[in-house]
């Protein structure tokens, strides 16, 4: 019946015709629904060499959560990770994580995604540095070198409740409710072995695949023009996937994720001139081109950009050739403490082979000199080792216990 209903709306979309601008009439919502439905049926497999949600072309929405493990038994951590992977397989196939018809018992799946498609849901797991603490799970010897604790950066305004965590869950989907449901139910399944520490919903992704238009951040600038693109296997292998010699075998094919919750001081930003905004980013606002250039994808020459501009300081040329794969999302956050603007920012997420060579030195340079720092505040911070993808029958992180 679900299938039949879907077909009706796809037909409605067909009637409207491809490329037609739809006005305000009875058909418009049906077309919108049909389009939404087509997006909603797409799936991304959970299993594979790499975890999905890293090089996967970004979806429109994210729900992120960091959990703390309450138990100190390695066996508990292992069974927790296995249970979470098993649930993730079901979730990414748009199946409930467990029975819905449970009589006097609580439903195992909470139900808010019943009837919704997979919506390209990906679930990416990570392990925080504290998992490898001495005397905890007995995993201290297996801690990857690149999984360092992040140093303090100049200007950091971190709130402990928005930082750290033992297990990261990054759920991305084309439908916010699908992403919310995934995190909701994974946290529930993890209880009482783990409890949620912080969580954030986001929208409006950073570009990581060539598309018709680069999305913009809440400051109005294109975001992702110079990003590592998901089609660029060479760059992914060089800059993103963990391997020898830095990483232990159990991490090969994985990646290291850094997450920063960056509040944008929008009232402040909105009050400066366009030229000052462009000097700050080092790019033109409308086209996204490097300052003085006309095309968004024109090569960036750092020597022609203002010394403190973001694009210059973040460029590979100034960072020993290093790059990172960014996968950020915007978030709305009520009203600004200034009382003069909406509050919002970016959940900055990046993946890399070794944060010691990539995020940390890049961020150190930005924190010291970036003009953008006057308009942003880093309030949350975390780092995670994201193991390689799971094979069928396995689970994310399984090699850690062998």
User: Under the criterion CB under 8 A, does residue 140 sit at the interface with a second copy?
Assistant: no
Restricting to residues 328-367, which ones interact with a second copy according to CB under 8 A? 330, 332, 334-336, 339-344
Alpha carbon distances (Å) from 241 to 26, 41, 141, 253, 375: 49, 29, 21, 5, 32
Q: Which of 91, 127, 266, 396 binds a second copy (CB under 8 A)?
A: 266
Q: Which of 217, 225, 255, 381 binds a second copy (CB under 8 A)?
A: 217
What is the rounded CA–CA span in Å between residue 222 and residue 212? 13
Stretch that binds a second copy, among 72-80, 202-210, 317-325, 357-365 (CB under 8 A): 202-210
User: Under the criterion CB under 8 A, does residue 188 sit at the interface with a second copy?
Assistant: yes
Task: Note whether 133 and 140 are within 8 A (CB).
Answer: yes
Closer by beta carbon to a second copy, 5 or else 237 = 5
Tally of CB atoms within 10 A around 393: 7
CB 299 to a second copy: min, Å: 21
Task: Note whether 174 and 60 are within 8 A (CB).
Answer: yes
Q: Which of 191, 237, 295, 317 binds a second copy (CB under 8 A)?
A: 191
What is the rounded CA–CA span in Å between residue 40 and residue 32? 12
Stretch that binds a second copy, among 54-62, 124-132, 320-328, 371-379 (CB under 8 A): 54-62
User: Under the criterion CB under 8 A, does residue 71 sit at the interface with a second copy?
Assistant: no
Restricting to residues 276-295, which ones interact with a second copy according to CB under 8 A? 276-277, 285-286
Per DSSP bridges, beta strands 194-203 and 255-264 are unpaired
CB 3 to a second copy: min, Å: 8
Structure tokens at 40: 């909603």
Structure tokens at 234: 């060479």
Which ranges in 41-175 belong to alpha helices (H)?
74-92
Q: Which of 84, 63, 65 is nearest to 193 (CA)?
A: 84
Q: Which of 176, 293, 296, 357 binds a second copy (CB under 8 A)?
A: 176
Closer by beta carbon to a second copy, 27 or else 318 = 27
Which backbone phi and psi does 178 adopt, to 5 degrees? -65, -40
Task: Note whether 215 and 328 are within 8 A (CB).
Answer: no
CB 48 to a second copy: min, Å: 9
Q: Which of 137, 154, 168, 141 is nearest to 72 (CA)?
A: 137
CB 209 to a second copy: min, Å: 6
User: Under the criterion CB under 8 A, does residue 101 sit at the interface with a second copy?
Assistant: yes
Stretch that binds a second copy, among 111-119, 149-157, 239-247, 354-362 (CB under 8 A): 111-119
Contacts with a second copy by CB under 8 A: the residue count is 105
Q: Which of 91, 123, 131, 200 binds a second copy (CB under 8 A)?
A: 200
Closer by beta carbon to a second copy, 8 or else 317 = 8
Q: Which residues contact 87 (CB under 8 A, 6 or more apart)?
A: 97, 185, 186, 189
Q: Which of 72, 73, 93, 111 binds a second copy (CB under 8 A)?
A: 111
What is the rounded CA–CA span in Å between residue 366 and residue 356? 15
DSSP 321-368: T---EE--EEEEEEE-TTSSSEEEEEEEEEEES-TTTTHHHHHHHHHH
Closer by beta carbon to a second copy, 46 or else 359 = 46
User: Under the criterion CB under 8 A, does residue 89 sit at the interface with a second copy?
Assistant: no
């Amino acid at each position: 019946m679900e299938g039949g209903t879907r077909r009706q709306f796809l037909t409605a979309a067909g009637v409207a015709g491809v490329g037609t601008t739809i006005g305000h009439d009875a058909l418009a919502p049906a077309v919108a629904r049909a389009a939404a439905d087509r997006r909603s049926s797409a799936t991304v497999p959970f299993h594979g060499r790499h975890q999905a949600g890293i090089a996967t072309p970004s979806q429109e929405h994210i729900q992120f959560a960091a959990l703390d493990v309450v138990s100190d038994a390695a066996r508990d951590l292992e069974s927790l990770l296995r249970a979470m992977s098993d649930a993730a397989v079901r979730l990414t196939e748009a199946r409930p994580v467990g029975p819905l018809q449970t009589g006097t018992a609580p439903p195992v799946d909470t139900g808010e995604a019943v009837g919704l498609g997979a919506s390209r849901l990906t679930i990416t797991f990570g392990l925080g540095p504290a998992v490898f603490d001495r005397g905890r799970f007995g995993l201290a010897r297996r801690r990857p070198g690149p999984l360092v604790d992040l140093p303090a950066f100049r200007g950091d305004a971190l709130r402990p409740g928005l930082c750290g965590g033992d297990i990261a869950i990054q759920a991305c989907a084309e439908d916010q409710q699908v992403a919310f449901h995934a995190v909701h139910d994974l946290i529930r399944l993890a209880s009482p072995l783990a409890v949620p520490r912080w969580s954030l919903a986001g929208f409006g992704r950073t570009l990581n695949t060539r598309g018709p238009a680069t999305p913009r951040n809440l400051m109005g600038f294109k975001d992702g023009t110079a990003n590592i693109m998901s089609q660029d296997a060479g760059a992914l292998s060089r800059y993103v996937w963990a391997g020898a010699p830095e990483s232990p075998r159990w991490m090969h094919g994985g990646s290291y994720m850094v997450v920063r919750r960056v509040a944008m001081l929008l009232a402040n930003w909105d009050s400066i001139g366009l030229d000052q905004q462009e000097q700050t980013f080092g790019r033109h606002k409308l086209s996204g081109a490097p300052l003085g250039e006309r095309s968004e994808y024109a090569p960036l020459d750092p020597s022609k950009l203002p010394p403190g501009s973001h694009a210059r300081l973040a460029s590979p040329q100034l960072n020993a050739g290093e790059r990172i794969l960014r996968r950020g999302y915007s978030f709305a956050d009520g009203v600004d403490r200034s009382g003069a603007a909406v509050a919002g920012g970016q959940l900055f997420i990046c993946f890399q082979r070794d944060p010691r060579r990539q995020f940390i030195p890049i961020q150190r340079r930005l924190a010291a000199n970036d003009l953008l720092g006057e308009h942003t505040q880093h309030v949350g911070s975390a780092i995670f080792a994201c193991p390689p993808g799971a094979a069928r029958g396995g689970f994310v992180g399984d090699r850690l216990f062998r």
